[in-house]
Each structure stands twice: as structure tokens, then as C-alpha cells.
């Protein structure tokens, strides 16, 4: 469990727990006791994802995007070596999506591998590599290299991804 993080397309939160409790759940299962370090890490992740003010809120009152950010925080709680993410930005607005993808890039730079599924060329543009699937088979692998925040880089990477997606009619 410590080696992997999961961000599902649907957040799968436990409604009887608060936002903070949902986030620390994975760490508390491993550690059996929530200590200050775990609570601090949860607070830091909530701060990074813009949901710190929701920490004590019941998850039933969250928007879809807020719930998804809770799920993303939970996936990073144990500093996983590999994170699987299925459309992690699908329920987020463009600004939140960009912030979350910046967080994914930072987590990747700190040593975690991110395997992310998306249909969004802007999200895919931040990846080092993009694998295109057609009918469940790898159609093409595209190495984009390290993420560069320059506007020219964003446009070039997005255009390259769009061209390949048009090729396979996605």
C-alpha cells in the first residue's frame, strides 16, 4: 500500500468521515495511529490543492472537483513510488486542473512515477511520455521530454498530441 497511490475517476470517499479523515485514511491504516507528522502532511497536501478550508467538512457537501482533490491528496499521503491516476482532472475547471497537474509534475520530480489516463491534450502535454492506445493496444509512444512551462513548449506539445489524436480519431 505504501508503494502505490490511486486516483480513481470517481473519488470514492467515505461519507461518514471528514475531508481530513478521508485524506489520512491510507496513512492511518499503515501507521495505526495518526500523529502530528501525518496530520501535517495532510494539511500540506490540502494547502497545495486549495482545499485546506474544507478540512473539517463532511464529504457529502463537496462539489465534484473538491471531492476529486480530496482523492488526489489521499493518493499522495504515503509518498508512493507509483501513482495510478484515471482522469484526475476530469471534474476540475481549467485553473484547478492546471494547479493539480503542476502538483503531479512536482511529485514526479521528487521521485514518484505517475501513470495517468486522460483525453485532455493539455493534461497529457505535461507528461514526459505519452502512450496512445487504440482499441486497447499501444498505437504509438511519444517522448516529449521534461516539462517546460514556456508558452511555446505548451503549444508545441499540445499540437503534437492533438495531431496524433486526430490520426487515430480520438
Handedness of CA 85, 90, 92, 94 (dihedral sign): positive
Overall average pLDDT of the 61-77 stretch: 93
Question: What integer pLDDT is reported at residue 31 of this predicted model?
Answer: 62
Pick the more confident residue, 109 or 152: 109
Overall average pLDDT of the 61-68 stretch: 92
8-48 pLDDT, tens digit per residue, is 988 899 999 999 999 998 777 766 566 788 889 999 999 99
Chain centroid, CA 121 distance in Å: 15
Do residues 5 and 84 lie in contact, with contact meaning Cβ atoms separated by under 8 Å?
yes
* Stretch(es) of the chain classified as CATH 3.40.50.300: 1-117
Residues paired with 7 in a beta bridge? 85
Tell me: pLDDT of 1 over 80: no
80-125 pLDDT, tens digit per residue, is 999 999 999 988 888 889 889 999 999 999 999 999 999 999 999 9
User: If DSSP states are collapsed to H, E and C, what string results for 107-168?
Assistant: HHHCCCEEEEECCCHHHHCCCCEEEEEECCEEEEEEECCCCCCCHHHHHHHHHHHHHHHHHC
Question: What integer pLDDT is reported at residue 2 of this predicted model?
Answer: 67
Cell matching residue 121 = 491534450
* Residue whose C-alpha cell reads 505519452 in the numeric block: 130
Q: Which helix (H) or strand (E) holds 5?
A: strand 4-7
Q: Does domain 1-117 have CATH number 3.30.590.20?
A: no
Amino acid at each position: 500500500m505504501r508503494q502505490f497511490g490511486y486516483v480513481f475517476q470517481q473519488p470514492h470517499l467515505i461519507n461518514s468521515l471528514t475531508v481530513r479523515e478521508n485524506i489520512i485514511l491510507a496513512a492511518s491504516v499503515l501507521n495505526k495511529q495518526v500523529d502530528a507528522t501525518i496530520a501535517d502532511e495532510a494539511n500540506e497536501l490540502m494547502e497545495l490543492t486549495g482545499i485546506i478550508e474544507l478540512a473539517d467538512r463532511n464529504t457529502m457537501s463537496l462539489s465534484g472537483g473538491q471531492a476529486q482533490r480530496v482523492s488526489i491528496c489521499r493518493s499522495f499521503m504515503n509518498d508512493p513510488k507509483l501513482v495510478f491516476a484515471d482522469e484526475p482532472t476530469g471534474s476540475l475547471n481549467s485553473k484547478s486542473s492546471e494547479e493539480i497537474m503542476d502538483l503531479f509534475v512536482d511529485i514526479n520530480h521528487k521521485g514518484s512515477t505517475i501513470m495517468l489516463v486522460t483525453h485532455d491534450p493539455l493534461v497529457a502535454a505535461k507528461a514526459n511520455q505519452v502512450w496512445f492506445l487504440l482499441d486497447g493496444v499501444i498505437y504509438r509512444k511519444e517522448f516529449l521530454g521534461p516539462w517546460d512551462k514556456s508558452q511555446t513548449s505548451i503549444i508545441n506539445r499540445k499540437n503534437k498530441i492533438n495531431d496524433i489524436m486526430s490520426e487515430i480519431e480520438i
